[in-house]
Every structure is written in C-alpha cells, then in structure tokens.
C-alpha cells in the first residue's frame, strides 16, 4: 500500500562507483605526510620554527602588557631566539624556509612583534634596558664596570686581529651590550651604534664577513661608544 522509502540519499544516475579505486583506500590507515626520515625531520623542524615564531609574538605582547617579569621575559626570549637560529643552521631547513617573510606568507602568519624581535636578534631588555637592569650598588658597579671595559677592549682587539665573520663578532658584541646594560641604563653617545651593528650582524649568515670598510667604520663606532660609556661614569 505504501511505497517503501529509501534509507539512503539517492545516487545520481550519471555516477558510476569506481570499485577498483574504493578497494585501494583504507580509511583506517594513517596518512603519511613524509615518506622518508629526512622528510619527517624537515617537517618537524619547520613546525618547530613555526611554533617559536608564534610563541615569540605572544611573549612580546605579554611583556608590553607587563604580564611577565623582565627576568623571565629575557630568559625565555633569549632561549627562543637561540633555538630559532640553531634550527635554521641546518642547510635543508634553511633552504626550505627561504627567509622569514617567505615563510610568513606561505603560512599566512601575522606576527609583527616576533618579526621585529627576530630582526634585532636580542631581547628588548638588552637593546633598551630599564632602570631595574642596571646595578645600583657602588661595590657591585666596580666589578661590572671592569667587565664592560674588558668587553670593549676584547671586541676592538678582535677587529684589529682581522676577525670579521658574523659568528666571531656577534657573540662578542652581544656580551658587550649586556655588560654595559648592567652598569648603566643611560643612553650615552654611541650606544645606539652598538645596537645598530648588532642588528646588522644578526642579518648576516654565520660565515659571512663584513668588508674592510665596514670593519673600519665599526672600529670607529665602537671607540666612540667606549668613550661615551666612560663619560657616563664620571
């Protein structure tokens, strides 16, 4: 009496199922994104870089909102930047990554704060120290002044010895600015040049060298900064 209803959606007459194709697909089988271990390692490394960039951006936001203590921010930011650089020293990862802007565009990342922090290569507390960073005790200042002075001399000696590669100069200059920040938070003459050179060196590849003209300019700027630093101590 009543017409039996179909318990499934009607199939268009023009559609003919491909039973051969269906038989080759196992819905319970895990889909492999990489066929070899090298490909898996590459994907894992790129995923780690992605995570670091996102974390850096959130960390910068938290610091600007005073949601994280300066010491914690400095430690975490420094660690993330070192991890970012370490991962990209791998040639395969670096080749696939290309550069930060390319990577961001590929994955549609909106991370302006992380982009700036990676460009500079140092935590904000290092390039722009607060009054809490500098020493306040006269007894402590004596030791810290000596360390900063030695770091200036060490860096200038490195230039005179012809050490011009990024991996030779950048660590020394990073130590120098951090030593200076422990002594004073004042913006002395030449301090901005130290930060500018840190940023310039950070953009270079590890084995890339500065030119002889750049070396002479860098030496002049560091001598000027050294004199400016000493002037703040008078």
Q: Looking at residue 45, which CATH number applies to its domain?
A: 1.20.1440.200
Q: Is 155 in the same domain as 118?
A: no
From CA 64, how far away is CA 23, in angstroms rounded? 57
- Condensed to tens digits (0 to 9), the pLDDT of residues 39-52 reads 999 999 999 999 99
Tell me the pLDDT band of 207, cut-offs 50, 70 and 90. confident
Per-residue model confidence as pLDDT tens digits over 211-234 = 999 999 999 999 999 999 999 988
Residue range of the domain that includes 161: 140-233
Looking at residue 127, what is its pLDDT? 84
Residue 4 domain flag: no
Q: Encoding tokens for residue 43?
A: 């994907």
Residues 151 and 226 in one domain: yes
Q: Quick one: pLDDT at residue 155?
A: 98
CA 34 to chain centre: 27
Per-residue pLDDT at 13 exceeds 50: no
- Domain-ending residue, one of 82, 98, 123: 123
Same domain, 111 and 146: no
- CA–CA distance, 109 with 111 (Å, rounded to integer): 6
Please return the burial class of 18, using the count of CB atoms within 10 Å of its CB with bins 0-12, 13-18 and 19+.
Answer: exposed
Query: How do residues 96-118 score in pLDDT, each as one tens digit?
Result: 999 999 999 999 999 999 999 99
Q: Are residues 113 and 163 in the same domain?
A: no
Q: How many domains does the chain have?
A: 2
Is residue 149 in some structural domain?
Answer: yes
Q: Are residues 71 and 107 in the same domain?
A: yes
User: What is the percentage of the chain residues whose pLDDT exceeds 70?
Assistant: 80
In a domain, 152, yes or no: yes
**Rg (alpha carbons) of the chain, rounded to whole number:** 27
199-224 exposure pattern, b = at least 16 Cβ within 10 A, e = fewer:
eebbeeeeeebbeeeebeebeebbee
Q: Is the pLDDT of residue 70 over 60?
A: yes
Considering the domain boundaries, does residue 15 fall inside one?
A: no
Query: pTM of the prediction?
Result: 0.74
Contact yes or no for 214/165 (Cβ under 8 A) = no
148 plus 176 within the same structural domain:
yes
């Amino acid at each position: 009496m009543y017409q039996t209803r179909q318990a499934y959606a009607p199939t268009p007459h023009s559609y003919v199922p491909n039973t051969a194709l269906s038989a080759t697909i196992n819905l319970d089988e895990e889909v492999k994104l990489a066929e070899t271990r090298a490909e898996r390692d590459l994907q894992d490394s790129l995923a780690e870089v992605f995570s670091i960039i996102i974390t850096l951006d959130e960390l910068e936001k938290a610091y600007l909102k005073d949601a994280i203590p300066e010491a914690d921010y400095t430690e975490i930011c420094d660690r993330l930047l070192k991890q970012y650089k370490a991962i990209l020293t791998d040639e395969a990862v670096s080749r696939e990554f290309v550069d930060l802007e390319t990577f961001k565009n590929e994955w549609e990342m909106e991370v302006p704060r992380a982009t700036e922090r990676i460009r500079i290569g140092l935590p904000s507390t290092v390039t722009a120290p607060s009054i809490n960073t500098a020493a306040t005790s006269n007894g402590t200042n004596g030791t810290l002044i000596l360390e900063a002075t030695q770091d200036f001399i060490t860096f200038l000696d490195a230039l005179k010895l012809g050490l011009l590669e990024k991996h030779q100069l950048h660590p020394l200059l990073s130590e120098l600015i951090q030593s200076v920040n422990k002594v004073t938070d004042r913006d002395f003459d030449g301090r901005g040049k130290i930060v500018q050179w840190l940023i310039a060196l950070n953009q270079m590849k590890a084995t890339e060298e500065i030119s002889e003209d750049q070396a002479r300019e860098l030496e002049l700027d560091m001598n000027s900064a050294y004199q400016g630093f000493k002037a703040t101590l008078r």
